[in-house]
A and B are shown apart, each in its own frame.
Chain A
Amino acid sequence: MDTSKVQLLYCKSKVYIHPSKSSKDNIAGYLALIRPDGASDLDILLSWVPEYLIRQSKDDFDNYVQVDLDPESGAISETSRVMVSPPPLNARSSHAFSIAVKDLFSIQVRQPSLGWWWGSLLFYTRTQVTLPALFFHDLESESTVNEQKRNCESFEPFSDSGDLYWGGQSFLKELRKYVKLVDATVERGLLLVNPDVADKLSFSPAAAKLVTPQPGDDNIAKLSKAWEDAKWGLMEKLAAVTRFSRKAGQQVLDRTPANVKAMLKVPEVEQLSNDFDSARIYLAEWALGIAENSDPRYDVVWMDSYDDLISSIGATDEEYDVISLAASVERRNPVTLEEWNSFFDLSGRLCITQTEVLDRIFHGGLEPSARTEGWLFLLGVYPWDSNAIERHSITSEKRNEYYRLKRHWWDDTERQNNDEFWKDQKHRIEKDVLRTDRQLEIFGQSDIPHPDPDSRFASQGANPHLEQMKDMLITYNEYNENLGYIQGMSDLLSPLYVVLQDDALAFWAFCQFMRRMERNFLRDQSGMHDQLKTLESLVRFMLPQLFEHLEKAESTHFFFFFRMLLVWYKREFEWDAVLRLWEVLWTDFYSSQFHLFLALAILDLNKEVIMAQLHHFDEVLKYINELGQSLDIDVVLMRAEQLFQRFSNTIDLIDRRRKDGQHAVLPSVPDSLRQLRDRKIVEVRESARPEGATGG
């Protein structure tokens, strides 16, 4: 045996570094754990070696491939050790690096997000050496794909917590055999490597208390408290700095990671970090954490070492502003039918998690070809854990059920002729259906004879699709007896019918949609009132300057959002944009009331104009009513996402400071705002119709 060789304990293929923004520059490599001859566990090397270097030796390459595909073969047994050439020394030219695991300080873990970014690991060292971030291109890695397939078989993909297996997870599992990894409670996704008590106090105070129970001695608790105080004090100062540098006025969002650098370059922030021992790394984590939340170009951010961040380019006020405003977000391409089908296994059962699908749809929407099925899932007609056979039988049951409901009123001629309420409602429905989305080709022509020659609409002829819509709404009027048909419902039904092209399925999809929309139509309008009040609180909280202006303009009842909230922006956006918007909202990805963040985003995008030009309620209403044509759905959705994150982060920060107990004056957060982080839909049912009440 060649004594210069080292033992390959573990490796993972297709682990990339991304030296530049361009994917052309990505370099594939192996991440490996290597034991030099006679080395202890602490001296095991964590190495990243470019694949092309390994391929230079066929033996080495074969060994790497073998250990990658069969992790057991890297086993401990003396006789079957897999030996390879020592990894190259740290080299700027090849980017290869090796570091003893004892020199690792912490690991930043970022889970992959399907189709958006690769999962990644970033290693912080105790020795100030900066290492490039590693990206796990799981789809290219045969070993990871194999493992995912194996997991899929025994895997419950329908829980919210179910994360997809990925390469980084496999590596961390292996690394845990040699070092202790502790979750840093101060920052999500940060693992401490073999932390000592001081590290734990700094980064994981709760864990520190757990592992060093010293009843009677409250020194630890005091120390921990001191850290917490200092930390939140720091946060507060940081927030003050960013607030200070915020300028009123037009703010075009810059989506470059340079903003993070800029943030750290603020003299006050630099001073803070120098003053405070562990603060620098914490600060960087925190600042980047904000960007990381949603920035798909996070990858690029991590390519810069921490020191580079600190010492690089100067920054403008606008750039600091961006950080304090929110992270950047991006829209993705819509899910194609092919991609949609790839979410399912051969039996037609979902093979990724529901959360992943919702994330994907929230950020990209669906191609028209993927909508027919996708909407039935989103609206809950099909359960997420169903397989193709089950869905087939659901479809036929639903069809039978719909036709049964329809026949019930259809055959009841007695009622059709004599029940005044029923006749009234039918008239309302017909009147509204005839003026719903007639600009669409499908509803455009009225070229069949009207089915009821006595109808007041008989002279207009009929359109077969509008006739279906009519029947569906009459059936719904029966099905949800207390609510009945109310104006606006035909607007909600028409996209479902047009996309699904099946009256029975569209009917059930509509019933599901109406579960969350019922509160918009209540007799006493309390559901709309509540939402307008919540919007008022939200604007007051998030856009205080604008709110002040709207107060002066006597417009804080937000009545000018009535139409947008009632039928979910159907009248404001173009048809295609409405379809996109609704499927995004149905995901409930951040909030079941994300439609209120859309309103917030629309205000935010227009606040300069509103504040400069509009001084009366009628002016505000007119402006908002006529925004329709100028609204770009993607722009509004991105801004809404940013605002949601800023909203959520702000509440978190307030809560943490309140917990701290030392800040007497904190803004109060009404429950109506807290509930905006809830993903469960708000269902309010109409009460029984009072005797003799009309459908009005």
Chain B
Amino acid sequence: MARKSMLKVIILGDSGVGKTSLMQQYVNKKFSTQYKATIGADFLTKELTLDDRRVVMQIWDTAGQERFQSLGVAFYRGADCCVLMFDVNNAKSFEALDTWRDEFLIQANPTDLENFPFVVIGNKIDVDETRRAVSTQKAQRWCAQKGNLPYFETSAKEATGVNQAFDVIGRNALQQDDVEGFDQEYPDGVDFSQYEQERSDCAC
């Protein structure tokens, strides 16, 4: 039985930038200050219509602490779009975007490295302006350098900019999905045997 057209989206970014909150706000329209730190990985799905096509977006939320990524590469594969997220009030989380992007490209190993769709999100714009650490211009400059990546500022808390961001995420993912040819049955793109191989080769 063929599965619905599935778009796989991965959200990456430092711990505490609001990955879980963003996903919850988009899918379930709710917010809590008390989401626990994500351990391992989880995803939510949302059905949507993009230019008359019914698709299911599978949004993967991951742990932000760097070391936990090493076991999680399994679900990078087959991704159609990667969201790089930072907290506009936390300069370090912005500086980490380079690492997150590089790490993703190495692990997911998409066929066309140059044109893989990333979307950048600066979150927590609801916080007092005096605490702001990364200006819009600075973020936009970075995005321009990396190949004109779309940039959105959001407040997962107040639901500002969330739908707009995901609309673009969805479109870019769909385009990527068509390019990669995973348009009917996405999970075949996940190659775990290779994952196992990598693990046993590594010295750890």
Is A562 touching B67 in the complex (CB atoms < 8 A)? no
Q: What is the 8 Å Cβ interface bit string for chain A, positions 25-64, against chain B (1 contact, 0 not)?
A: 0000000000000000000000000000000000000000
Q: How many interface contacts (CB-CB < 8 Å) are there between A and B?
A: 104
The one of B40, B68, B72, B192 in contact with A617, judged by C-beta atoms closer than 8 angstroms, is B192
Contacting residue for A525 out of B39, B71, B128, B203, CB 8 A = B71
* Contact for B15 among A428, A438, A456, CB less than 8 A: A428
Is the Cβ of A486 less than 8 Å from the Cβ of B89? no
Would you mind naming 20 contact pairs between A and B with Cβ atoms under 8 Å apart? A435-B36, A435-B37, A436-B36, A439-B34, A460-B33, A486-B67, A487-B65, A491-B39, A523-B67, A524-B67, A525-B67, A525-B68, A525-B70, A555-B192, A559-B72, A560-B40, A562-B39, A562-B41, A562-B71, A625-B42
Q: Would you call the interface of chain B mostly helix, strand, loop, or mixed?
A: loop
Residues of A391-434 whose CB lies within 8 A of B: 424, 428, 431-432
Docked-complex contact A554 and B192, CB < 8 angstroms: yes
- Per the 8 Å Cβ criterion, residues 584-639 of A in contact with B are 616-618, 621-622, 625
Question: Could you tell me if B40 and A563 are in contact, using CB atoms closer than 8 angstroms?
Answer: yes
Of all chain A residues, the one with the shortest Cβ separation from B44 is: A622
B143 within 8 A of A: no
The 7 closest A-B pairs by CB, nearest first: A696-B66, A524-B204, A526-B204, A563-B40, A562-B40, A487-B65, A563-B39
Contact of B131 among A438, A456, A617 (CB under 8 A): A456
Closest to B199 in A: A529
Least CB distance, B98 to chain A, in whole angstroms: 14
For A625, what are the chain B residues with a Cβ–Cβ distance below 8 Å? 40, 42
Are A559 and B40 closer than 8 Å at their CB atoms?
Answer: yes
Does B195 have its Cβ within 8 Å of any Cβ on chain A?
A: yes
Question: Which residues of A are found within 8 Å of B36, using beta-carbon distances?
Answer: 435-436, 491, 571
Cβ-defined contact, A486 with B34, below 8 A: no
Q: Does A557 contact B (CB under 8 A)?
A: yes
A618→B89 contact, CB < 8 A: no
Tell me how far the C-beta of B138 lies from the nearest C-beta in chain A, rounded to whole angstroms: 19
CB contacts under 8 Å to A, within B146-204, are: 187, 190, 192, 195-196, 199, 202-204
Residues of B within 8 A of A69 (CB): none
Mark out the residues of chain A between 557 and 573 whose CB falls within 8 Å of any chain B CB in the assembled complex: 557, 559-560, 562-563, 566-567, 571
Please tell me if B27 contacts chain A, counting CB pairs below 8 Å. Answer: no
Question: In chain B between 62 and 117, which residues have their CB closer than 8 angstroms to a CB of chain A?
Answer: 63-68, 70-72, 74-75, 89, 92
Given contacts A428-B15, A524-B204, contact A617 B67 (CB under 8 A): no
Instruction: Select from chain A the residue with minimum beta-carbon distance to B65.
Output: A487
**A557 lies within 8 A of B37 (CB):** no
Nearest-Cβ distance from residue B103 to partner chain A, whole angstroms: 11
Provide the bound-state CA to CA distance between A488 and B64, in Å: 12
Closest CB in chain B relative to A230 CB, distance in Å? 44
Asked whether B43 is an interface residue with its Cβ less than 8 Å from the other chain, the reply is: yes
Cα(A435)–Cα(B187), bound, Å: 33
Bound complex: CA A46 to CA B192 (Å):
67
List 15 extra interface pairs beyond A439-B34, A562-B40, CB under 8 A.
A424-B92, A432-B37, A435-B36, A487-B37, A487-B64, A491-B37, A522-B204, A525-B67, A529-B204, A559-B41, A562-B72, A621-B41, A621-B43, A622-B43, A694-B66
Indicate if B140 sits at the interface (CB-CB under 8 A): no
Tell me the A501-525 residues at the B interface (CB within 8 Å).
Answer: 521-525
Q: Could you give, for residues 638-659 of chain A, a 1 whenever the CB lies within 8 Å of some chain B CB and a 0 otherwise?
A: 0000000000000000000000
A428: which B residues are within 8 A, CB to CB? 15
A559–B69 Cα distance when bound, in Å, is 12
Q: Decide if B5 is an interface residue (CB 8 Å cutoff).
A: no
Is A556 interfacial (CB-CB < 8 Å)? yes
Which of the listed residues B35, B71, B89, B202 has the most CB atoms from chain A within 10 Å of its own CB? B71
B13-39, CB under 8 A of A: which get 1 and which 0? Answer: 001100000000000000001111101
Q: Which residue of A lies closest to B6 (CB)?
A: A618
Instruction: Report whether B39 and A488 are in contact in the complex, using a CB–CB cutoff of 8 Å.
Output: yes
